[in-house]
Chains A and B, each alone.
Chain A
Amino acid sequence: MPTLSLAALEDTKMQKHGFSIKVESVAQDFGAFAALRDVSLEIKPGELVALLGPSGSGKTTLLRVIAGLNAPDRGRVLFDGEDATYLPVQDRKVGMVFQNYALFKHMTVADNIAYGLKVRPRRQRPPKTEIAKRVEELLRFVQLEGLANRFPGQLSGGQRQRVALARALAIEPRVLLLDEPFGALDARVRKDLRRWLREVHQKTGLTTIFVTHDQDEAMELADRVVVLNEGRIEQIGTPEELYDQPASPFVISFVGEAVALPVTVADGHVNFAGRELHIDTHGLRSGAARVFFRPADIAVASQGSGEIEGRVESIRRTPAGVRATIAIEGYDQTLEIDSPIDQAASLGEKIPLSFTKARIFPADVPDFDDIADGI
């Protein structure tokens, strides 16, 4: 497992600050398909931001617009306050790491890393000795010393990933962009590299944006997460904010698990399966709605004080105690609740359940499962 050497970092003259990025009302259509609809966000210098969403949500398109690989149909992109919307990608100084690394297979590792420096116009090109030095420093930084003369075909997936990163860092970019950087690797390597990316970010201080569909990854790594769905931003916030204060059914159901109880709202009262739930409707108009809460926020209530009633369908032992699968009338899926052995319910028993931290939304706002099934 590669660890970064602080000493190696101090040797390098890598920039230790990043640029701020502002995206203003960016939209992009591919023919009839709207990949991005009126997307705006601000990224502070040095932030590590995740663009999270399912396939087709527009996250990669947004990354490419920031990179300059796609020109948006509407809107602007600003780097440190300067309008960079139509700046050619070659002038943007973005360090991009692609999903499949896009290493130049016919060049050695060293040549790959040096590429960005070698293609600079003569006036801006550092002398050969300095290029070689920087390549050495970067190889040390990503813990791949000694592999300078290997070819990408001779490296493992994780090693290629690190070469791609070193290559992107070589040009002293203003921002680091990563497109599903760990998607092509197996689970074990992925975990290690996640930790490693966090370290890289801490040590370089570069503004970093990465795209992922894996919410674990986003939650673990990012300072802030941008949740995208169908070309729109559903919510931007820290991982805690997304867990605890989800702004929409999509966010609740995409980030972590959620139970969606169909209810009816009438004059500020929430009714489910003939009983009233004590939830603040926040002025929601009358009609069909759904109540969302996390399975972790539901518990067996003391007799008589439960909000909803469930029936135990099956029970099984777990190392910690007992897990009961509970069916709720009026809801088509089952819940699982853990309890210590001495408090276990029995099969078929009706038990009252109560929950905390519920959020209510109109029924016609789709959540992630709707989108996955529906279109």
Chain B
Amino acid sequence: MTKLSAAPGSVWRFCAPSVIPGFGITFGYTLFYLSLIVLFPLATLLWRSSELGFSGLYAVASEPRVAAALRTTFSLSFAAAFIDLIFGLIVAWVLTRYEFPGRRLFDAFVDLPFALPTAVAGISLAALYAPNGWFGVCLAELGIKVAFTRLGILVALIFIGLPFVVRTVQPIIAELEIELEEASATLGAWRLQTLLFVLLPPLIPALLTGFALAFARAIGEYGSVIFIAGNIAYISEIAPLLIVVKLEQYDFAGATAIASIMLAISFVALLVINLIQSWSRKRFGHV
């Protein structure tokens, strides 16, 4: 079923003619499966939330408990992504530019939060920072309580966000040409100046992207967090947990509303990432 010859000025074809077979069936199946599994359910969510309308959404969002959960989620996700930004940069820099024993092992382990199921991460973090846990005991002596507090949530979100920053920044660091550093040195700049003015700026797009990715992931995180968080309403309750709570109360409208808000934020984050990438492509000529 080749679609080779098309008379000039004839029917507009969706797919350019090709000798390779199988477009119809693969494209069709792709659309079918995509619609069935992803688009249709998501559309249902949008439809149900549109039933509420903006006023309904706002009403739910301004419920004190919901507002508190959203605040908790966003502020802690932002803080975690920020900490991941700083340490992620350091880790990426060290793994890419320095040689030391065990470097390969550490490099492989950066992906652990990707690979480890969230529930496992959740209970191990909880056990680690519990008052009788390895870290909990040490921190208790300093008077710091982590488990069952907002600090616990922060720790969990730092854990799951780290690989996003490291893996986004690493390739860019690896591509930094050594000639740039040498040129900077010949022009009289000392090491710190070279670092700040020549090496860091090209990393900024990747850092922003990594931050946005870590932030977006942290907002929706559930399994890693609920074991170590206190899950106390108004204080240490995250938005995803509140969705589950509302479902248990059969408050489908409320759950849907919160879910829609979170979905909207995710899309905004995605959009921001894409904008960063296209801006940096124009400015620097690469992503």
Chain A residues with a Cβ under 8 A of chain B? 67-69, 89-96, 98-100, 102, 104-107, 115-116, 119-120, 151, 153, 167-168, 171
Contacts and interface: CB of A to CB of B under 8 A. Distances in A.
A115 B184 contact: yes
B185 A119 contact: no
B187 A98 contact: no
Given A106-B283, A106-B284, A96 B186 contact: yes
A96 B285 contact: no
B182 A116 contact: no
Nearest to A151: B283
Contact of A120 (B179, B182, B184, B188): B188
Main secondary structure of the interface of A (DSSP, over half): loop
Interface in B183-223: 183-190, 193, 197-198, 201-202
A209 B185 CA distance: 19
Nearest to B178: A102
Given A98-B179, A102-B179, A119 B284 contact: no
B248 interface: no
Main secondary structure of the interface of B (DSSP, over half): helix
B186 A119 contact: no
B141 interface: no
A27 to B, nearest CB: 22
Nearest to B281: A153
Listed from nearest, the 9 A-B pairs whose CB atoms lie closest are A116-B187, A153-B285, A102-B179, A102-B183, A119-B189, A96-B186, A106-B201, A98-B179, A89-B185
Nearest to A92: B186
Contact of A104 (B180, B185, B186, B188): B180
Interface residues of B, number: 20
B99 interface: no
Contacts of B184: 104, 115, 119
Interface string B258-287: 000000000000000000000000011100
Contact of B183 (A98, A106, A153): A98
B186 A105 contact: no
A69 B193 contact: no
Nearest to B196: A119
